[in-house]
Structure 1
């Protein structure tokens, strides 16, 4: 018989915190796609008889009577995750690959073990795996299914998108953060990162013995190299997950920034997800605001161009505080590939109004140098305009006035 979490004696544990990524994607979709959001929400099913029949036909069900230790681990995990689902456990038939998966219904969870998982893992590691899988269920059920709805919605938008665009990358990172969240569920259940990391490495390698401290040292050696980014299809690599879990357990304040760097990589226009697009739009606005600080830049042509970027932009507005450094200058992210993109943005404003003569180009060159993209911008200018090669040096040396007299 399946285990029913509702039969256990409950003890209140604080809910797991959703990742900031999940919260950001949900907030974006609720605001921008309310009709699609409500349509997906209405499609949730209580139970799927076809799924249950398929599992019974393709697995051996691990009953509570025959496997009491596994079901006891389910009871403990459910208690610590503050959930009470109907849980059924299965061993897949004819499955050689070592794996654990979960199918989620509204009030039920089906956990399927494949290969020799049950022989490979000790009791603590099995508890970690069960905690990991049930954390998926917990995330799907919380807040009225909000995070499940977002997952289905981004997957649908990604399927309808030609090529790899923002929704492809959003769906990918949403899934990756789900695994990070589920690893935190495993830690909540075990109260120790060792079995969480050991189970992860054992399942991926098939090894019977894993030294967790050694693997964490290995992860640190990998991540010491610049530019290391997850290239996995859905689950981040084990070394990233081990590092993330260790940082989570230590309550490291830099965890979110580290995860963003390891999962998304450098900010690059071609690989942005929807949250990255929002972030780049805000950063671009701050760059343009920094360029247009002088009142003389507020010509009709410049204002018209600015409104093509943002309907409510006004030359003279301040750059956003989160983009400013200690001396009040706009700073680009430490890891970015925005040189060419921002160079063309600056070039747009430098060239849109010929009546301003050399001043816009001089201001743009000086700002590009401050941003650290001066060489790329100069190359772009010389390629796209008729300026002579000696012109940028002279323009960089110009003193930019705060006001100019107009005829």
Structure 2
């Protein structure tokens, strides 16, 4: 049976926050006060119908089955939400209490196995919060507190969003662990989002793969991945758990996107920019006073390095990046090409060679034409002058941009 463990993103974010010892300590010591817990219980009673275990013996038996399968100690209470037809379910966790609220006609629509999967998903939230001594519950509160702070940057909001998406995928795996039936989990998800009484999960998996093949830009869901992503992620994990992590990561996060960075990808893009600049200013002749100032405007500690090369890893990283990121890198290189007027077009020739190595020529030339307002003929002449100037510079020796 596949092991139910947090996603690497969960562990990475937990470790990141634990390095902020004062923040981690403060959130770890915060406890829900009894008056807050009682207020939440009362709010539940005001807006739901509490299902009593005698009348609704089967749902409670399924809940206990899920509790046992997940090896948790949750005390489950079930509710039916009032005045809504929307199909949904949610859980509120207060200590060992697991309050699960069902919405819409779920108990009529779902089979017993599907209802077991649904309850397993909700109770997997309880499991997640209690893993590793409750560290993931603390991580959740830290991530959301930072994201909801008006002073926070977009990267913090995106980090919390991704964290939530991965929690839902974890809980989908919990649904499988409870039901031990991937078909039941998938059909539950499809029914929940369509309201249909009969569904063909194999057909929906095929549909989901068509979407991924046409558009693998990542999830746009605010808290939950799109249903086709959830079903496909569970299908991949269930059929080949040892070879799916990178595939699921690409499906959820999409390519490296300058317009949609979390705190870890922000560092990744910063490093890529740093490495690219080091390659761009590798020749001794290009490292003028103006170029030094440009580099320091990006990275105050950046230094020219004779060991900077366009590596296969860099090339693959650029190739896999989003269109926006590729354009951003082109603008960085345009800065290099244009920052020192005294060197005329020679730096441009150097940059043209670099974009060729990185397979960025099309994007770079489009940006060059746009920013310099050049026609096709003018661009051609500019490139010829730049390459001629670079050829003269190479006559006196220039370091290779590629590693052997």
**Which residue of 2 is the match for residue 17 of structure 1?**
5
Matching of residue 278 in structure 1 with residue 267 in structure 2? yes
TM-score by length of 2: 0.83
Paired residue secondary structure (1:367): helix
- TM superposition shift of 1:331: 4.2
Alpha-carbon distance change, 319 to 237 in structure 1, aligned in 2, over 3 angstroms: farther
Gaps of 5+ in 2: 400-404
Gaps of 5+ in 1: 1-12
CA distance in 2, matches of 1:104, 1:167: 25
**Which residue of 2 is the match for residue 334 of structure 1?**
320
**Which residue of 1 is the match for residue 96 of structure 2?**
107
- TM superposition shift of 1:76: 2.9
Larger mean Cα displacement after TM superposition, 236-245 or 172-181: 172-181
**Which residue of 2 is the match for residue 369 of structure 1?**
356
CA distance in 2, matches of 1:21, 1:222: 24
Alpha-carbon distance change, 103 to 351 in structure 1, aligned in 2, over 3 angstroms: same
**Which residue of 1 is the match for residue 382 of structure 2?**
391
Matching of residue 402 in structure 1 with residue 398 in structure 2? yes
Across the aligned residues of Structure 1 and Structure 2, the Cα RMSD in angstroms comes to 3.2
The question of whether the paired residues in 2 share the 8 Å contact of 1:106 and 1:141 is answered with no
**Which residue of 1 is the match for residue 108 of structure 2?**
119
Paired residue secondary structure (1:270): coil
Aligned length: 388
Paired residue secondary structure (2:214): coil
Alpha-carbon distance change, 319 to 160 in structure 1, aligned in 2, over 3 angstroms: farther
Please point out which of 43, 57, 64 is paired with 1:54: 43
**Which residue of 1 is the match for residue 14 of structure 2?**
26
**Which residue of 2 is the match for residue 218 of structure 1?**
207
TM-score by length of 1: 0.83
The question of whether the paired residues in 2 share the 8 Å contact of 1:77 and 1:127 is answered with yes
Alpha-carbon distance change, 14 to 211 in structure 1, aligned in 2, over 3 angstroms: closer
1:172-191 superposed matches below 5 A? 172-191=161-180
The question of whether the paired residues in 1 share the 8 Å contact of 2:347 and 2:386 is answered with no
Larger mean Cα displacement after TM superposition, 83-92 or 247-256: 247-256
1:33-72 superposed matches below 5 A? 33-45=20-32, 48-72=37-61
Q: Name the structure with the higher helix share.
A: 2
The question of whether the paired residues in 2 share the 8 Å contact of 1:44 and 1:106 is answered with no
The question of whether the paired residues in 2 share the 8 Å contact of 1:100 and 1:113 is answered with yes
- TM superposition shift of 1:300: 5.5
CA distance in 2, matches of 1:385, 1:203: 54
Alpha-carbon distance change, 102 to 302 in structure 1, aligned in 2, over 3 angstroms: same
- TM superposition shift of 1:318: 5.0
Alpha-carbon distance change, 383 to 225 in structure 1, aligned in 2, over 3 angstroms: closer
Larger mean Cα displacement after TM superposition, 280-289 or 250-259: 250-259
**Which residue of 2 is the match for residue 139 of structure 1?**
128
- TM superposition shift of 1:306: 3.3
Matching of residue 81 in structure 1 with residue 60 in structure 2? no
CA distance in 2, matches of 1:98, 1:259: 26
Alpha-carbon distance change, 360 to 303 in structure 1, aligned in 2, over 3 angstroms: same
- TM superposition shift of 1:116: 1.1
CA distance in 1, matches of 2:18, 2:343: 44
CA distance in 1, matches of 2:199, 2:165: 24
CA distance in 1, matches of 2:126, 2:69: 13
CA distance in 2, matches of 1:88, 1:301: 68
The question of whether the paired residues in 1 share the 8 Å contact of 2:117 and 2:179 is answered with yes
- TM superposition shift of 1:355: 5.9
- TM superposition shift of 1:194: 0.6
Paired residue secondary structure (2:6): coil
Larger mean Cα displacement after TM superposition, 118-127 or 282-291: 282-291
The question of whether the paired residues in 2 share the 8 Å contact of 1:154 and 1:171 is answered with yes
The question of whether the paired residues in 1 share the 8 Å contact of 2:217 and 2:255 is answered with no
- TM superposition shift of 1:378: 3.2
